[in-house]
Amino acid sequence: MEKAEKSGKPTPVWQLTGERREVVARPDGLLEQNLTTAPARTWRSGGWVDVDTDLRRADDGSVAPVATTVGLRFSGGGKGPFVRMIRAGREFSLGIPGDLPEPRLEADSATYVDVPFKGVDLQVRALEDGFSHSFVVRNAQAAADPRLARLQLQMGGGLAVGSDGRGGLKVKDPGSGGVMFEAPQPQMWDATLTEPTEGSVARVKPTERVRKELEKAPGPASKVRPLAATVTGKTLNLVPDRTLLTDRSVTFPVVIDPAWRTPLSTAAVMVNTDYATDTSWADEGMGICKNGDPHMSNCGGDGTVTKRLFYTFKPAGWKDQAVIAAEFEVNEVWAYNCTASEMQVWRTKQPSGATTWGQQAGTNFAGFWQQKLAYKSVAHGNEGIGCNDHTVEFRSTELREYVESLNTVDSPTLTFGLKAADEGSVTGWKRFSNKAALRLVINVRPTQPGLGGMRMSNGTSVNGICQPANDPLIVTGYPAKLQAEITDPNVGEKLQGEAVLAWDDGTGWRDQVTNITSDVRNESDDVDNPTTYTFAMSSSTHHIFIPENKLVSWRARGWDFKKNQDTGQDTNEWQSASLWSNASDLDSPGGVRHACHFIIDTARPPAPKVTSADGRYPQKPPNLGWYGAAGVAGKFDIRAGSTAAADKPTSYRIHLSGWTSPREVPADANGNLLGYSITPDSSGEKMLKVEAKDQANRTSAQAIYEFRVNHTTPYEGYWRLDEQGGSSAVNEMDTGLHNLQLKGTDYTWKTPAKIGTGLTVNVDSDSATRGYAETSQRVVDPTQSFTVAAWVKLDKKTWYSTAVGQDGEVNSSFYLTYNHGKDRWALTNRGEVAQALSAQPPQIGKWTHLVGVYDAASKQYKLYVNGVHEGTSGTVPAWNGGDGPLTVGRGKTEGSPVDFFPGTIDDVRVQRKAVTLAEAQRLFYGTVAARWKLDANANGSTLDDTGIGLVLKNRATTATAARCGEKVIDGGCLVLGDPSETQVVGDDHAVTTGPIIRSDQSFSVAGHVMLSSFPTGRETLFSQAGTNTNAFTVRFNRQASGGNGAWEIDVPDSDAAGVVRRTVQHESCRVCNEENAPDHVALVYEAPRRTLSLYVNGLLSAQLESTRDDVSIFRANGAFGIGAMVQGGVASEFLRGTVDDVWVYQGDLKDGQIIELAAGQSGLTRENAP
């Protein structure tokens, strides 16, 4: 959205785009979705390309379309099948006995002349999502040939082919049971053309173009018959209708035509009064058709037939969005005459290929045809008398409201029925294309306010949190302010909040005060720091009276504005609203929400005041960072909330989230409790609740102090150096104790670096302006073990250059530096008495990761360069030279700053321990634990860039892009459960020999996956085994989302059987929409925040239902698995399909990095990982 607004041009949103759906962000802040019933694009090598069915000769001699949604290969002549269709590593092929001649190519068709015998041609045609193969009988002599009594084709590929119960065929994956391809009942037709007549009735002139079209589909006057299709073993039998072949009135050629497609061909369905429902038509009729009328034919059946048409669409990223406009479009290609007649568009139930006329008509009409949405009187498509083909557009308020009414799920199914207003008159007969379209203009609503961001006045500050009805917040005065955090996916958009107060006034619980509006502000573009909107609660302004000692609730929601109408002075300027903060989605895995509740009790003493005494754990808000660590103590000052003698506290009741019970602590003589030490025993969001008790044993209102605790970490200092300006750099480990202060003037922020941006110093070589940074005090004790690490880029080698050091009284206690005399990186001390050197000289202008280690036990330095141990020193003399600040960009010698670093420094980390080789490698590799490209490999295992093995079990195999259906990122994919590899259902999967990440710390797992079909059960993509259960399982669950299917993550509370399991789900996915395209699935776990997020195709689900913040994952000791849930050496929930480009990170990836991985364009590699 932001890109479209800045550029002033529509910008494709590829993450929401699909085969039948294009999503575009408009410069006016709206989204436009253009949906079609036929595939318009396909996924290739990490992006969408337009479907192009034109055939080209390939290098191997075969013939293939430019781009379709399945992998198609037609024979170039000779032996073998005449067609191969590939999906998710599975192949379905058809062949005919004998050698094939070289085909004649024309547009999307390949014709094999005189196959299977003279006078009959085999014509294979590429479709957007499959193929058709036709036997074109050119003359009566060929039609009389007894070999046409039964046509036999040989099937290959190992898939299960059988009847669909309606005369058609289905091709299933025998492992998952899902349908991969389907073919409706085949039909045959002749080339009869409507005879021209006088007057206003229909006429069609026979042309070469029309004759060619008749080889692809029957015309309005064609004689059409169904034919039998049966399967015997690996043989497909087609039995033509002999009566049509021998009918003297037929016009040759006669076409015998089965068509094979991927599922979802029910996007266009025709039902009628006389014969089987059809889902494979190119254009079909609507209204009443009479075979006896000389100007009508191809009615189907033997006499009069009434037909109705249905079109189905599936939008994406849809949940809770506002529909501004909706337009249904369909192309009319034939009419009985050019006199306008009314046709109607209805809201209907979704039909299938098995829907009969009786199921949607007669007494069932009202249940199936639910609401008339729009109508029009037109006549198009009869070129002979002057009304050419034309697209008919339908718009109405009812149509828009119907579309918007289905926004309770991410991927709803929208079905439109098309019928003639007068189904008793032939003048209402029309034919329409199967390629209908639905155009939607959408406003993305603000996000539902989270309860964690809702606060109210509690005494003098706005720190009263959102409490449920059974534990309301007690306030001692009129709440002057309410606050809510509101965000909008349209970054930077102006928003306004709305709040409502409710209580029971004796006549029942109801809203008492409405339309309380907040200030108007631009929404923050920082997801971790959302904008807070404040509601002033002045009774004189809003005439708000809130009764005392009564339970009161309040809720809030956010509004965005119409374009260029954002003053906030008139609610008519509002465009669309978020859900109310207390609105619950009972089907979502996040639990039920509640309103915020409080009671005004003026008789209570006011709440005490709580502040951080040492800055270790500052209050949230406004401090939204992560501080300290589990096990690290912080000191707090607690003071009386009132100076009145009667309110003077004698003790304080203190409770920290995670404690089993509160603590009662005496106050000092002044009624305060200063410097009280509290040690969080776990990381995450923390809430400190404090109540005061006075001499009369009255309990005060509750003070709430929230803060964030980092996960247990060995870092004493961690400077990202991502600042965008200023003269200081924050230490992520504390609140200012070790912040870096910039010195000199020769420094620059925002230089592109290894992780975000870095600090560039000493560009101009001017000694008067030299730049560096230093802390205010010692960070590590140089007499004890320590580790210092940094990414550095040296721009020149003119002198010694120190990246990180720590001052003593005269010299630095250590130097992580470039040693100019030896032309090596080094960890050294003054005089080079002891130093560890790199194996190779530094390279100018190249990023290098340095880890310097002092091991107090061995009294040695060690140096790691880019994760490799390259040097060890001799004995390091004992340090007794005093303590000074840590320095970045210089050292100290003989009392003066020296060795100024010329270049860029990034991501400096200091630990009070000597790291191991493995830990040094993790510092270098950042969060990359493993990456498997999964390209073709003949061995039984595949390695990532560091040699971490992934063992391929059973018939799991890596394959080339051609076998993977050309849906891969680069080179190939992992094929799982392919029945062509074995004639029984396999249990293919891949595993490591042990854990590759700490699952109790932050981590991310991501990869591309394409299921062979819409599965009937659960199929696991990733799993991490523990002792008794999996630490996490990422799977596709067909039963989720009301049976529509969804990706999900399943996490147990502990490594034990029968424990509570927590789940997040994502129902906006390509497999959910039965598209022939891969999904990119990513799990991100942020341990300090206990947040688990599921991204699909680079995005969280609408309204963030794929995220929850109450998850703690245990440390698992078992194997990491791909393609199955592996536990105790036993695998289950096998995935059938392909997997590609799997990444595993020890750390939480950010939104932008997930999007890059989903697009297959990530710059994150083992060499430049975050």
Query: Residue 1170: which residues within 8 A CB-CB, separation 6 or more?
Result: 754, 755, 926, 927, 928, 1145, 1147, 1149, 1153, 1164
Q: Which of 147, 141, 145, 177 is nearest to 162 (CA)?
A: 177
Biggest CA–CA distance in the chain, Å, is 116
Which segments within 823-883 are labelled E, that is strand? 824-828, 835-837, 847-855, 860-865, 868-872
Spatial separation of the C-alpha atoms in residues 80 and 366, rounded to whole Å:
53
In a domain, 566, yes or no: yes
**Can you tell me the mean pLDDT for 746-769?**
87
Same domain, yes or no: 762 and 890: yes
Same domain, yes or no: 432 and 479: no
> Domain boundary at 676, 709, 742, which?
709
Same domain, yes or no: 705 and 754: no
How is residue 591 written in tokens?
Answer: 């639990």
Q: What is the pLDDT of residue 946?
A: 45
Report the CATH number that the domain containing residue 647 is assigned in CATH.
Answer: 2.60.40.10
Report the CATH number that the domain containing residue 949 is assigned in CATH.
Answer: 2.60.120.200
Report the CATH number that the domain containing residue 436 is assigned in CATH.
Answer: 2.60.120
Spatial separation of the C-alpha atoms in residues 225 and 186, rounded to whole Å:
9
Same domain, yes or no: 20 and 90: no
Spatial separation of the C-alpha atoms in residues 252 and 244, rounded to whole Å:
11
In a domain, 498, yes or no: yes
Q: What is the pLDDT confidence band of residue 1165, given thresholds at 50, 70 and 90?
A: very low
Same domain, yes or no: 904 and 1040: no
State the DSSP H helix or E strand holding residue 691, giving kind and residue range, or none if neither. Answer: strand 684-694
Residue identified by tokens 């294309």 is 433
Spatial separation of the C-alpha atoms in residues 1009 and 967, rounded to whole Å:
10
Residue identified by tokens 């494979």 is 280
Q: What is the pLDDT confidence band of residue 1166, given thresholds at 50, 70 and 90?
A: very low
Instruction: Evaluate if residue 939 carries a pLDDT over 70.
Output: no
- Kindly give the pairing relationship between strand 369-378 and strand 1120-1122: unpaired
Spatial separation of the C-alpha atoms in residues 713 and 716, rounded to whole Å:
8
> Domain boundary at 914, 944, 979, which?
914
Q: What is the pLDDT confidence band of residue 646, given thresholds at 50, 70 and 90?
A: confident
pLDDT one-digit tens code per residue, 170-210: 888 887 777 888 888 888 888 876 543 333 344 344 455 55
Q: Which of 438, 489, 412 is nearest to 1068 (CA)?
A: 412
Q: What is the pLDDT confidence band of residue 515, given thresholds at 50, 70 and 90?
A: confident
- What is the CB neighbour count within 10 angstroms for residue 929? 24
Residue identified by tokens 């925040």 is 1089
Most confident of 697-706, 892-901, 1078-1087: 892-901
Domain of 1128 in residue numbering reads as 928-1158
Same domain, yes or no: 754 and 802: yes
- What is the CB neighbour count within 10 angstroms for residue 874? 12
pLDDT one-digit tens code per residue, 528-541: 567 788 887 765 55
CA distances to 532, 927, 1157 from 1151, in Å: 22, 15, 10
Spatial separation of the C-alpha atoms in residues 480 and 469, rounded to whole Å:
21
Region at 725 (left for phi over 0; alpha for psi -120 to 50; beta for the rest): left
Same domain, yes or no: 429 and 335: yes
How is residue 606 written in tokens?
Answer: 């006011």
Instruction: Evaluate if residue 305 carries a pLDDT over 80.
Output: yes
Same domain, yes or no: 835 and 980: no
Q: What b-and-e string marks burial along 972-996, b requiring 16 or more CB atoms within 10 Å of the CB?
A: bbbbbbbbbbeeeebbbbbbbeebb
Instruction: Evaluate if residue 588 carries a pLDDT over 70.
Output: no
In a domain, 253, yes or no: yes
Q: What is the pLDDT of residue 729?
A: 93
Q: How far is CA 370 from the centre of its chain?
A: 34
1053 touches 1059 (CB < 8 A): yes
- Least confidently predicted of 296-305, 446-455, 1076-1085: 296-305
Question: Is pLDDT larger for residue 935 or for residue 285?
Answer: 285
In a domain, 42, yes or no: no
In a domain, 601, yes or no: yes
pLDDT one-digit tens code per residue, 38-51: 889 998 877 889 99
Same domain, yes or no: 415 and 484: no
Same domain, yes or no: 685 and 596: yes
Whole-number mean pLDDT of the chain? 84
> Domain boundary at 394, 419, 443, which?
443
Domains contained in the chain, number: 6
Torsion angle (degrees, nearest 10) of CA 1017, 1020, 1024, 1030: 0
pLDDT one-digit tens code per residue, 354-403: 788 888 988 788 889 999 999 999 999 887 788 889 999 999 999 999 99
Same domain, yes or no: 432 and 296: yes
In a domain, 194, yes or no: no
In a domain, 508, yes or no: yes
pLDDT one-digit tens code per residue, 339-358: 999 999 999 998 887 788 88
Q: What is the pLDDT of residue 799?
A: 94
% the chain with pLDDT above 90: 38
- Kindly give the pairing relationship between strand 461-465 and strand 455-458: antiparallel
Task: Look up residue 1040 and give its amino acid.
Answer: A
In a domain, 1170, yes or no: no
Instruction: Evaluate if residue 322 carries a pLDDT over 90.
Output: no
Q: What is the pLDDT confidence band of residue 591, given thresholds at 50, 70 and 90?
A: very low
**DSSP code of residue 1152:** H
pTM above 0.75, yes or no: no
Same domain, yes or no: 704 and 741: no
Spatial separation of the C-alpha atoms in residues 700 and 238, rounded to whole Å:
86
pLDDT one-digit tens code per residue, 817-846: 999 999 999 999 998 999 999 999 999 998
